[in-house]
Structure 1
Amino acid sequence: METLANLEAFVRSAELGGFSSAARYMGLTPAAISRNVAQLERNLGVRLFHRNTRKLALTEAGERFLLSVRGNLDALQSAISDANADQGKPAGVLKVSVPMSLGMRYLIPTLPAFLQSYPDVRVDWQFDSRQVDLVADGFDAAIGGGFELSPGVVARPLAPAHIVAVASPSYLKGKKLPKSPDDLADWDAIVMRSGTSGRLRSWVMHHVGGDEAVVPLKARVAFNDPGPMTEAAAQGLGVALLAMPDVLPHLESGSLVRLLPRWYVDAGSISIYYSTRLSLSAKTRVFIDHVVEDFQQHQYAERFAGNSG
């Protein structure tokens, strides 16, 4: 029977395109990865990779074997992680889905402390704004907003998901500041195009006093991701409606100015989602606690609020 080390060496080498990349991922040397794969090939009696000096490519037998074992390897590692969880030891691969901008600005900076505290945990994150199926896609957790809760999934709110209107000082130069959303009708707008429907997003803003108004945006630039929208706004291309986490660093530095400070879009909450179908593994439990504590320490719930203007 093959060892888990041999199987993982093969799968990671195939996924990452080489022994060196697999070695970095697994914390081993390329020579150790190569030995494990060679032992696996000897035991199976087939060659799994075509090897040359420039690249590593799967043979036909290797492709078939990868399809057979990849999912089983993840299941085995999850089972081992769950067994360790019973002993209270966080370990194994922590698979998380998180939006790119939120992950880059607010979550990756927390990783050094987390991994130092839990050296047996390995991180495997997917940066994506779409909703994932935690159970079917094998995620331990997801962070974001606006997810529909499927059976067995719970959401722990972290901060409000408020969207505000912003523009750069250069774009605002010589313009009269708007007093209501209607005043934005003739301004150049940087708008969001839905990645699923392809339609331009429309927004309803709320006033802290209770009024509501549809925002009449004149699209000049359209993107399907808030990161480019934020950069375009900072470059003076127009007004944009963006989530507070995306624009907060720019508001604090002065490269963007918030417009209509008493108006905001309420998009619900930024939450961390996880499944309750199985007992929560130790690695997932400590990750949730780590994220919640970090949000509390940095007061993100207050800083991301758009209704305090």
Structure 2
Amino acid sequence: MDQIQSMRVFARVVEAGTFTKAAESLDLPKGTVTKLVQHLEARLKVKLLNRTTRRVTVTPDGAAYYERTSRLLNDLDDIEASMSNAQASPSGRLRVDVGASVAGQIIIPALPDFYRRYPDIRLDMGVSDRPVDLITDNVDCVIRGGELQEQSLVARRIGNVPLLTVASPAYIAAYGAPTHPGQLEDEHTLINYFSTRTGRLYPNEFEKDGERLEIAGRYRLAVNESNAMTAALLAGLGVGQTGSFSVIPHIERGELVRVLEDWQVPAIPVWVVYPPNRHLSAKVRAFVEWAAEQFAKHPHIAR
């Protein structure tokens, strides 16, 4: 059997953690994936993987083999790309994952421009605010805002999203507009964000004249997705902080009102992230550069 193919299949099994996930990502039958790894082990006369009913773990010899062959496979990809027209005309399937509001309001509306430039790229776009394991899920890159949790990944900062504190006119008519962040502790109702990964509530942050406040406040609703936050604000459920590009259109239409405007709120950094050990192919590079361009020219996102 083809040795290079066997090496690629072995590497994908290591990254995916199971033969089933590896087969799905490679679009191969599971039996073929299993057979290729078995032939590789027979050729090397070394056990590369420990198999259980649920998961595959790498033996010490397998880990050493993966480290060396992954570099070799990346070099082969580089050679092939340099000898073809891939750099001039990126093509193929690209798997990306994008936060819900960024997908709906920035990336997807601009995709006609992307396809005019790169008509041969097929995008599989996951849309969610949940954390994604790029290696296990076989995702080429993700766009995420906030603090980076996985320091081993390669991250490029492509923008800073200002946060605005807003409420609906109906809420303000019923409860008044806060004039100081401290009033959010016990005089107003907040809509909060919580971490999908840990369940921890994110505090509402305010800065003014060197004073910095973190307000947890009284809340009846916490959400973990930005579109849900906008919907809750529009429904008049409380005061909340969210990304400027999500709410400025509603502010311009009078559906939401800014409050506490004299207090600054730290902006949220936005990153495009991809695995360090994966060849940055022409199609990945094309998407990363194009996405950075969309953020750079957006009127409500800071460079």
Summarize the alignment of residues 223-242 of structure 1 with structure 2, pairs less than 5 Å apart. Answer: 223-242=223-242
Please state if 1:143 is matched with 2:97.
no
Alignment match, 2:266: 266
Alignment match, 1:157: 157
Cα offset, 1:67, TM superposition: 6.4
Cα offset, 1:90, TM superposition: 0.6
**2:100–2:225: 8 Å Cα contact kept in structure 1?**
no
Cα offset, 1:182, TM superposition: 0.5
Alignment match, 1:71: 25
Q: Which moved more, 1:111-120 or 1:216-225?
A: 216-225
- Could you say what the CA RMSD is over the residues aligned between the two structures, in angstroms? 3.0
Cα offset, 1:94, TM superposition: 1.1
Counterpart amino acid of 2:274? Y
Q: Which moved more, 1:190-199 or 1:91-100?
A: 190-199
Alignment match, 2:197: 196
Alignment match, 1:33: none
CA distance in 2, matches of 1:68, 1:165: 44
Summarize the alignment of residues 107-126 of structure 1 with structure 2, pairs less than 5 Å apart. Answer: 107-126=107-126
Cα offset, 1:84, TM superposition: 6.8
- CA distance change for structure 1 residues 274 and 296 in 2, over 3 Å: closer, same or farther? same
CA distance in 1, matches of 2:77, 2:155: 22
Counterpart amino acid of 1:298? H
**1:181–1:216: 8 Å Cα contact kept in structure 2?**
no
CA distance in 2, matches of 1:171, 1:200: 22
What TM-score, normalized by structure 2, do the two folds share?
0.68
Residue ranges of structure 1 left out of the alignment (5+ in a row) = 2-64
Counterpart amino acid of 1:147? L
**2:161–2:301: 8 Å Cα contact kept in structure 1?**
no
CA distance in 1, matches of 2:291, 2:22: 35
- 1:247-294, CA deviations, whole angstroms, 9 ceiling, x for partnerless residues? 232223221111111324426401111234344211111111111222
Query: Percent of aligned pairs with the same residue?
Result: 33
Cα offset, 1:200, TM superposition: 3.4
SS state at 2:301 partner: helix
CA distance in 2, matches of 1:215, 1:177: 16
- 1:71-122, CA deviations, whole angstroms, 9 ceiling, x for partnerless residues? 33389xx999877743313111111111111111111011112112212110
- CA distance change for structure 1 residues 267 and 299 in 2, over 3 Å: closer, same or farther? closer
**1:98–1:127: 8 Å Cα contact kept in structure 2?**
yes
CA distance in 1, matches of 2:178, 2:251: 18
Please state if 1:245 is matched with 2:199.
no
CA distance in 2, matches of 1:280, 1:196: 27
Cα offset, 1:210, TM superposition: 2.5
CA distance in 2, matches of 1:68, 1:138: 9
Summarize the alignment of residues 1-309 of structure 1 with structure 2, pairs less than 5 Å apart. Answer: 69-73=23-27, 85-86=81-82, 87=84, 88=87, 89-145=89-145, 146-151=147-152, 153-173=153-173, 175-185=175-185, 186-207=187-208, 209-266=209-266, 268-302=268-302
What TM-score, normalized by structure 1, do the two folds share?
0.66
SS state at 1:301 partner: coil
**1:163–1:241: 8 Å Cα contact kept in structure 2?**
yes
- CA distance change for structure 1 residues 82 and 248 in 2, over 3 Å: closer, same or farther? farther
Residue ranges of structure 2 left out of the alignment (5+ in a row) = 2-18, 34-72
SS state at 1:138 partner: coil
Cα offset, 1:216, TM superposition: 4.5
**1:194–1:201: 8 Å Cα contact kept in structure 2?**
yes
- CA distance change for structure 1 residues 264 and 139 in 2, over 3 Å: closer, same or farther? farther
- CA distance change for structure 1 residues 263 and 91 in 2, over 3 Å: closer, same or farther? same
